[in-house]
Amino acid sequence: MKLLTHNMLTSKCLKNVVTGYPLIISINSPEDIKVQEVDFNPDFIAKIIPKVDWDVLCKTAEEVGHKGDLPGAVDQDFETNEGFLKKAHHVLLEVEVMNGSLVCPETGRKFPVTDGIPNMLLNEDEV
């Protein structure tokens, strides 16, 4: 699961959950995180940046050990700043959670992540 995906997932569909965001990433070891090169597309990154909760992205990247030199805030000229776009691209699309869980911050409900795929299916009594 790419950090871009994580940035957009919520557990607010659970019964009695108000926001359910951001989900907490729980991994057992650093090997549960994989970095895989992805072709850089500056136009895509520039268009996706406004949809990303930047504070959550920075916190998550730090928690999984891949914040690197990612700025703490979106650059004002981000659309034309290739250096910034490359840093954002790396964290959003190249850092992947392969195994672990996503934990609802309000209920503690764990959603497994297996081979990079989060399972967000709910039991009937949770809806």
Each residue of 93-117: pLDDT tens digit?
Answer: 999 999 999 999 999 999 999 999 9
What tens digit of pLDDT does each residue of 39-90 get?
A: 999 999 999 999 999 999 999 999 999 999 999 999 999 999 999 999 999 9
CB burial string 3-23: b at 16+ within 10 A, e below:
bbbbbeebbeebeebeebbbb
Segments making up each domain of the chain, as ranges: 3-116
Q: DSSP letter string over 23-47?
A: PEEE-SSGGGEEE------HHHHHH
What tens digit of pLDDT does each residue of 37-48 get?
A: 999 999 999 999
Question: pLDDT over 90 for what percent of the chain?
Answer: 98
Tokens 């840093």 identify what position? 87
Predicted TM-score (pTM) of this structure: 0.93
What are 53's strand-pairing partners?
Answer: none
Give yes or no for a contact between 62 and 71, defined as CB atoms under 8 angstroms apart: no
Domain 3-116 class? Answer: mainly beta
Q: Would you state the pLDDT for residue 31?
A: 95
Beta-carbon count within 10 A of 83 CB:
10
Closest CA relative to residue 87, chosen from 64, 57, 108 = 57
Q: Would you state the pLDDT for residue 42?
A: 98
Q: Would you state the pLDDT for residue 70?
A: 96
User: Can you list the alpha helix ranges (DSSP code H) found in 31-111?
Assistant: 42-48, 54-63, 82-89
Q: Would you state the pLDDT for residue 71?
A: 96
Average model confidence (pLDDT) across the chain: 97
What are 42's strand-pairing partners?
Answer: none
